Amino acid sequence: MNMPQDRELLDDQIAYYRARAPEYDAWWFRTGRFDRGAENNAAWNADVAHVERAVVDMLAKTRPSRVLELACGTGLFTRHLAPRVEHVTAVDASPEVIAINRGRVGASNVDYVQADLFDFEPNARYDLVFMGFWLSHVPHARFDAFWAMVRRALQPQAFAWVVDSAHDPTSHAVDHQTPDRHAGIATRRLDDGREFRIVKVFWEPATLATRLRACGFDAQLAQTKRYFIYGGATPT
Protein backbone atom coordinates (compact mmCIF):
# COMPACT_ATOMS: atom_id res chain seq x y z
CA MET A 1 0.00 0.00 0.00
CA ASN A 2 1.30 3.50 -0.80
CA MET A 3 1.96 5.57 2.32
CA PRO A 4 0.07 8.87 2.27
CA GLN A 5 2.29 11.91 1.66
CA ASP A 6 0.92 13.82 4.60
CA ARG A 7 3.53 13.51 7.34
CA GLU A 8 4.39 17.21 7.31
CA LEU A 9 0.73 18.14 7.73
CA LEU A 10 0.27 15.63 10.57
CA ASP A 11 3.38 17.01 12.31
CA ASP A 12 1.97 20.53 11.95
CA GLN A 13 -1.27 19.27 13.48
CA ILE A 14 0.60 17.85 16.49
CA ALA A 15 2.60 21.10 16.84
CA TYR A 16 -0.64 23.11 16.73
CA TYR A 17 -2.31 21.18 19.54
CA ARG A 18 0.88 21.23 21.65
CA ALA A 19 1.11 25.02 21.33
CA ARG A 20 -2.64 25.44 21.81
CA ALA A 21 -2.86 23.35 25.00
CA PRO A 22 -3.19 26.25 27.50
CA GLU A 23 -5.86 27.98 25.39
CA TYR A 24 -7.64 24.84 24.08
CA ASP A 25 -10.62 24.89 26.45
CA ALA A 26 -11.73 28.37 25.28
CA TRP A 27 -13.25 26.55 22.27
CA TRP A 28 -15.46 24.29 24.38
CA PHE A 29 -16.45 26.95 26.90
CA ARG A 30 -16.97 29.71 24.27
CA THR A 31 -14.60 32.24 25.78
CA GLY A 32 -12.06 34.62 24.22
CA ARG A 33 -11.94 34.32 20.41
CA PHE A 34 -14.59 31.57 20.56
CA ASP A 35 -17.23 33.79 22.12
CA ARG A 36 -19.79 34.05 19.28
CA GLY A 37 -22.38 36.15 21.10
CA ALA A 38 -25.26 35.17 23.35
CA GLU A 39 -27.45 33.47 20.74
CA ASN A 40 -24.77 31.28 19.16
CA ASN A 41 -23.21 30.51 22.53
CA ALA A 42 -26.59 29.35 23.86
CA ALA A 43 -27.04 27.09 20.81
CA TRP A 44 -23.50 25.74 21.30
CA ASN A 45 -24.05 25.07 25.01
CA ALA A 46 -27.33 23.27 24.28
CA ASP A 47 -25.49 21.03 21.79
CA VAL A 48 -22.68 20.43 24.32
CA ALA A 49 -25.29 19.34 26.88
CA HIS A 50 -26.84 17.08 24.22
CA VAL A 51 -23.59 15.22 23.37
CA GLU A 52 -22.50 15.00 27.00
CA ARG A 53 -25.86 13.48 27.90
CA ALA A 54 -25.53 11.04 24.99
CA VAL A 55 -22.10 9.93 26.28
CA VAL A 56 -23.34 9.50 29.86
CA ASP A 57 -26.42 7.58 28.64
CA MET A 58 -24.26 5.35 26.42
CA LEU A 59 -21.98 4.53 29.40
CA ALA A 60 -24.97 3.79 31.66
CA LYS A 61 -26.58 1.56 29.04
CA THR A 62 -23.51 -0.39 27.89
CA ARG A 63 -21.43 -0.38 31.11
CA PRO A 64 -17.97 -0.69 29.54
CA SER A 65 -15.23 -1.63 31.98
CA ARG A 66 -11.98 -0.89 30.13
CA VAL A 67 -11.91 2.14 27.84
CA LEU A 68 -9.33 3.37 25.34
CA GLU A 69 -9.67 7.10 24.76
CA LEU A 70 -7.95 8.26 21.58
CA ALA A 71 -6.69 11.89 21.45
CA CYS A 72 -7.83 12.55 25.02
CA GLY A 73 -6.78 16.22 24.93
CA THR A 74 -7.32 18.32 28.04
CA GLY A 75 -9.87 15.87 29.45
CA LEU A 76 -13.19 17.38 28.41
CA PHE A 77 -14.45 13.81 27.91
CA THR A 78 -11.98 11.93 30.13
CA ARG A 79 -13.66 13.65 33.09
CA HIS A 80 -16.98 12.00 32.10
CA LEU A 81 -15.46 8.59 31.32
CA ALA A 82 -13.17 8.10 34.33
CA PRO A 83 -15.79 8.16 37.13
CA ARG A 84 -18.09 5.76 35.24
CA VAL A 85 -15.74 2.95 34.19
CA GLU A 86 -13.12 0.74 35.78
CA HIS A 87 -10.13 1.95 33.77
CA VAL A 88 -9.26 4.45 31.04
CA THR A 89 -6.15 4.38 28.86
CA ALA A 90 -5.93 7.93 27.51
CA VAL A 91 -3.67 8.50 24.50
CA ASP A 92 -2.50 11.79 23.01
CA ALA A 93 0.57 13.04 21.13
CA SER A 94 0.83 16.20 23.23
CA PRO A 95 2.48 16.05 26.66
CA GLU A 96 1.05 19.53 27.30
CA VAL A 97 -2.60 18.44 26.99
CA ILE A 98 -1.88 15.25 28.95
CA ALA A 99 -0.58 17.40 31.85
CA ILE A 100 -3.76 19.51 31.78
CA ASN A 101 -5.93 16.38 31.55
CA ARG A 102 -4.15 14.78 34.51
CA GLY A 103 -4.66 17.95 36.58
CA ARG A 104 -8.34 18.21 35.63
CA VAL A 105 -9.35 14.56 35.99
CA GLY A 106 -6.97 13.55 38.82
CA ALA A 107 -8.17 9.94 38.77
CA SER A 108 -6.12 6.90 39.75
CA ASN A 109 -7.97 4.74 37.18
CA VAL A 110 -6.62 6.72 34.18
CA ASP A 111 -3.29 5.81 32.58
CA TYR A 112 -1.86 8.27 30.08
CA VAL A 113 0.12 7.29 27.00
CA GLN A 114 1.95 9.86 24.90
CA ALA A 115 1.88 8.50 21.34
CA ASP A 116 1.26 9.42 17.72
CA LEU A 117 -2.00 7.69 16.86
CA PHE A 118 -0.81 7.03 13.32
CA ASP A 119 1.96 4.81 14.79
CA PHE A 120 -0.05 3.52 17.74
CA GLU A 121 -0.64 -0.18 18.24
CA PRO A 122 -2.93 -1.15 21.14
CA ASN A 123 -1.36 -3.74 23.43
CA ALA A 124 -4.68 -4.64 25.07
CA ARG A 125 -8.33 -5.06 24.10
CA TYR A 126 -11.03 -2.73 25.33
CA ASP A 127 -14.81 -2.67 25.82
CA LEU A 128 -15.00 0.81 24.31
CA VAL A 129 -12.77 2.94 22.08
CA PHE A 130 -13.81 6.56 22.57
CA MET A 131 -12.74 9.46 20.33
CA GLY A 132 -13.89 13.03 20.88
CA PHE A 133 -13.10 15.46 18.06
CA TRP A 134 -10.39 13.18 16.71
CA LEU A 135 -11.89 11.45 13.65
CA SER A 136 -12.09 14.77 11.78
CA HIS A 137 -8.28 14.94 12.09
CA VAL A 138 -7.74 11.58 10.36
CA PRO A 139 -6.96 12.12 6.65
CA HIS A 140 -9.10 10.22 4.14
CA ALA A 141 -6.00 8.30 3.00
CA ARG A 142 -5.49 6.94 6.53
CA PHE A 143 -9.13 6.24 7.37
CA ASP A 144 -9.07 2.48 6.69
CA ALA A 145 -5.76 1.89 8.49
CA PHE A 146 -7.02 3.93 11.46
CA TRP A 147 -10.24 1.91 11.77
CA ALA A 148 -8.27 -1.36 11.36
CA MET A 149 -6.30 -0.25 14.45
CA VAL A 150 -9.56 0.54 16.28
CA ARG A 151 -10.84 -2.94 15.43
CA ARG A 152 -7.67 -4.51 16.84
CA ALA A 153 -8.26 -2.55 20.06
CA LEU A 154 -11.79 -3.90 20.55
CA GLN A 155 -12.88 -7.01 22.43
CA PRO A 156 -15.50 -9.14 20.68
CA GLN A 157 -18.90 -7.38 21.04
CA ALA A 158 -17.21 -4.10 21.93
CA PHE A 159 -17.70 -0.84 20.04
CA ALA A 160 -16.25 2.58 19.25
CA TRP A 161 -17.92 5.90 20.02
CA VAL A 162 -17.35 9.08 18.03
CA VAL A 163 -18.12 12.70 18.84
CA ASP A 164 -17.05 15.25 16.26
CA SER A 165 -17.71 18.53 14.50
CA ALA A 166 -20.55 19.21 12.13
CA HIS A 167 -19.89 22.04 9.66
CA ASP A 168 -21.12 25.33 11.12
CA PRO A 169 -19.60 28.75 10.38
CA THR A 170 -19.75 29.76 14.06
CA SER A 171 -18.00 26.75 15.57
CA HIS A 172 -14.44 28.05 15.12
CA ALA A 173 -12.74 31.20 16.46
CA VAL A 174 -13.91 34.59 15.19
CA ASP A 175 -10.61 35.14 13.36
CA HIS A 176 -10.55 31.75 11.64
CA GLN A 177 -11.76 31.50 8.08
CA THR A 178 -14.68 29.06 7.80
CA PRO A 179 -13.05 25.98 6.28
CA ASP A 180 -14.43 24.65 3.02
CA ARG A 181 -16.64 21.71 3.99
CA HIS A 182 -14.86 19.40 1.53
CA ALA A 183 -11.25 20.70 1.60
CA GLY A 184 -10.08 18.22 4.27
CA ILE A 185 -7.65 20.82 5.58
CA ALA A 186 -7.95 24.03 7.61
CA THR A 187 -5.74 26.86 8.85
CA ARG A 188 -5.90 27.56 12.57
CA ARG A 189 -4.55 30.53 14.51
CA LEU A 190 -3.50 30.80 18.14
CA ASP A 191 -4.09 33.76 20.46
CA ASP A 192 -0.57 35.05 19.64
CA GLY A 193 -1.28 34.98 15.88
CA ARG A 194 0.82 31.90 14.97
CA GLU A 195 -0.80 29.85 12.22
CA PHE A 196 -0.81 26.08 11.60
CA ARG A 197 -2.39 23.76 9.07
CA ILE A 198 -4.45 20.84 10.30
CA VAL A 199 -6.53 18.03 8.81
CA LYS A 200 -10.25 18.75 9.16
CA VAL A 201 -12.75 16.36 7.60
CA PHE A 202 -16.39 17.29 8.22
CA TRP A 203 -18.40 14.08 8.34
CA GLU A 204 -22.16 13.92 8.16
CA PRO A 205 -23.84 11.00 9.94
CA ALA A 206 -25.05 9.28 6.75
CA THR A 207 -21.79 9.58 4.79
CA LEU A 208 -19.72 8.51 7.78
CA ALA A 209 -21.97 5.49 8.35
CA THR A 210 -21.58 4.49 4.68
CA ARG A 211 -17.79 4.95 4.84
CA LEU A 212 -17.60 2.91 8.07
CA ARG A 213 -19.70 0.13 6.57
CA ALA A 214 -17.09 -0.16 3.80
CA CYS A 215 -14.42 -0.90 6.40
CA GLY A 216 -16.51 -3.32 8.41
CA PHE A 217 -18.34 -1.26 11.03
CA ASP A 218 -22.05 -0.87 11.58
CA ALA A 219 -22.55 2.74 12.77
CA GLN A 220 -25.55 4.42 14.37
CA LEU A 221 -24.86 8.14 14.12
CA ALA A 222 -26.84 11.28 14.86
CA GLN A 223 -26.39 15.03 14.75
CA THR A 224 -27.17 17.69 17.35
CA LYS A 225 -29.07 20.77 16.16
CA ARG A 226 -26.02 22.56 14.76
CA TYR A 227 -22.58 21.70 15.96
CA PHE A 228 -21.83 18.03 16.54
CA ILE A 229 -22.18 14.51 15.22
CA TYR A 230 -22.00 11.50 17.54
CA GLY A 231 -22.71 7.82 17.88
CA GLY A 232 -21.43 4.28 18.02
CA ALA A 233 -19.68 1.98 15.52
CA THR A 234 -19.61 -1.79 16.05
CA PRO A 235 -17.46 -4.20 14.01
CA THR A 236 -19.62 -6.35 11.75
Ligand X SMILES: C[S@@+](CC[C@H](N)C(=O)[O-])C[C@H]1O[C@@H](n2cnc3c(N)ncnc32)[C@H](O)[C@@H]1O
Instruction: Give the footprint of ligand X on this chain (CB under 6 A).
Output: 10, 13-14, 17, 71-73, 76-77, 92-94, 97, 116-118, 132-134, 137
Q: How far is CA 63 from the centre of its chain?
A: 21
CB of 30 to ligand X, least distance (A): 14
Which residue, 29 or 118, is less far from ligand X as judged by CB? Answer: 118
Of 87, 156, 146, 86, nearest to 121 by C-alpha is: 146
CB of 28 to ligand X, least distance (A): 6
| 82 vs 236 by CB, closer to ligand X | 82
Looking at beta carbons only, is 57 or 218 nearer to ligand X?
A: 57
* Shortest Å distance, C-beta 37 to ligand X: 22
Judging by beta carbons within 10 Å of its beta carbon (0-12, 13-18, 19+), is residue 93 exposed, middle or buried? buried
H or E element at residue 15: helix 7-20
CB of 212 vs ligand X, minimal distance in Å: 19
Nearest approach, Cβ of 117 to ligand X (angstroms)?
4
Closer to ligand X at the Cβ: 34 or 134? 134
Closest CA to 227 of 209, 208, 204: 204
Residue 16 or residue 159: which is nearer to ligand X going by CB? 16
Q: Count CB atoms within 10 A of the CB of residue 231.
A: 21
Residue with CB nearest ligand X? 73
97 close to 74: Cβ distance less than 8 angstroms: yes
CA separation for the pair 228, 71 (Å, rounded): 17
